[in-house]
């Protein structure tokens, strides 16, 4: 049997990027064209992944957000820090995960020191997101599935996790918690604005009990929260996919 002819192997980085973009456009385009029930629709997810869009939608919905700056200008960062009464943090504008030398790496949220602000070399290379540091008693991972909401307190027991709990999962403790009615109402408005039926939202809860919105992941992880707390998130997702009203 004659063998099918194949083209030359893709060697260069530009060729690989071009091929990957073509594959995403082809496969993603076919999926997006399907007339079916989505959790979530790809176009809604793509829009909702932009942090500026999330923050604007959260503020429009009435949720509290930290003072925020997105820039690659060191002078603007220093001016922002002078206007904020406390510390500021820096975190990625997009996904914090990248691969270098075949190793998966994560860029975590970092609280900036005076030394960091004096030495901002390299910041000009790309956009960074800066926010006022919000004092926290704990954080909340709020998983929204359709009309149902599942909230878990995330308590950090190490300094590293207190800054970014993703950096030290072993030090975390989880407790199911109630959502204030006004937060529920505002989250519903946020989800409607973003066109999402599922999202994993992160909040800071201050020592006084005030909730501050950080971000919404339209494809956020939830399985470990269910295992740690017993919250029936998987059942809710199955119901949502089938159009079952709880």
Domain with residue 232: its CATH number is 3.30.470.20
Same domain, 238 and 142: yes
Does 23 map to a domain? Answer: no
Q: Which residues pair with 110 in a beta bridge?
A: 90
Q: Is the domain of 187 the same as that of 153?
A: yes
| Residues 6+ away with beta carbon under 8 Å from 49 | 94, 218
For residue 10, being part of any structural domain is answered with: no
Query: Residue 25 falls within a domain, yes or no?
Result: no
Say if 223 falls within a structural domain.
yes
Q: Kind of pairing, strands 110-111 and 88-91?
A: antiparallel
Q: Which of 109, 100, 99 is nearest to 51 (CA)?
A: 109
Single out the residue in 98, 116, 132 at which a domain terminates: 132
154 and 207 share a domain? yes
pTM of structure: 0.87
Between the CA of residue 220 and those of 16, 114, 214, what are the distances in Å? 28, 33, 14
Domain co-membership, 128 together with 155 = no
DSSP for 160-180, please give it: HHHH-GGG-GGGEEEEE----
Decide if 171 is inside a domain. yes
Residue written as token pair 């956020």:
220
Per-residue pLDDT tens listing for the chain (246 residues): 555 555 566 667 888 889 989 998 998 889 888 888 899 998 999 999 999 999 999 999 999 999 999 999 999 999 999 999 999 999 988 877 667 677 777 778 889 989 889 888 888 999 999 999 999 999 999 999 999 999 999 999 999 999 988 889 999 999 999 999 999 999 999 999 999 999 999 999 999 999 999 999 999 999 999 999 999 999 999 999 998 876
125 and 170 both lie in a single domain: no
**What CATH number has the domain bearing residue 124?**
3.30.1490
Boundary of a domain, candidates 132, 156, 189: 132
Determine how β-strand 103-106 pairs with β-strand 68-71.
unpaired
* Domain membership flag for residue 87: yes
Report d(CA 86, CA 42) in Å as an integer: 38
Strand partners, 139: 154, 204
Q: How far apart are CA 203 and CA 55, in angstroms?
A: 12
Residues 193 and 124 in one domain: no
Q: Which domain holds residue 97?
A: 67-132
Residue 121 φ/ψ, nearest 5 degrees: -60, 135
And the tokens for 141?
């991972």
85 in any annotated domain: yes
Domain end point (choices 115, 132, 149): 132
Q: Identify which of 107, 110, 216 has the alpha carbon closest to the alpha carbon of residue 163.
A: 110
- Domain count of the chain? 2
122 in the same domain as 79: yes
Contact 152, 231 (CB under 8 A): yes
């Amino acid at each position: 049997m004659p063998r099918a002819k194949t083209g030359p192997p893709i060697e260069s980085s530009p060729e690989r990027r071009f091929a990957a973009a073509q594959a995403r456009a082809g496969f993603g385009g076919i999926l997006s064209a399907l007339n079916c029930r989505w959790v979530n629709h790809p176009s809604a997810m793509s829009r909702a992944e932009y942090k500026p869009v999330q923050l604007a939608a959260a503020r429009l919905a009435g949720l509290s957000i930290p003072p925020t700056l997105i820039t690659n200008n060191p002078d603007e960062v220093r001016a922002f820090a002078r206007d904020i009464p406390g510390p500021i943090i820096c975190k990625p504008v997009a996904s914090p995960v990248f691969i270098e030398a075949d190793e998966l790496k994560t860029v975590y949220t970092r609280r900036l020191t005076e030394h960091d602000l004096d030495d901002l070399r390299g910041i000009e290379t790309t956009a960074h997101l800066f926010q006022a540091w919000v004092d926290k008693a704990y954080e909340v991972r709020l998983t929204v599935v359709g009309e149902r909401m599942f909230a878990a307190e995330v308590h950090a027991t190490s300094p590293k996790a207190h800054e970014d709990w993703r950096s030290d999962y072993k030090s975390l403790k989880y407790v199911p918690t109630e959502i204030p009615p006004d937060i529920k109402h505002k989250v519903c408005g946020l989800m409607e604005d973003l066109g999402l039926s599922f999202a994993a939202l992160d909040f800071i809860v201050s020592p006084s009990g005030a909730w501050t919105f950080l971000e919404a992941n339209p494809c956020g992880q939830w399985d470990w929260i269910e295992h740690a707390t017993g919250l029936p998130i998987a059942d809710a997702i199955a119901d949502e996919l089938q159009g079952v009203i709880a």
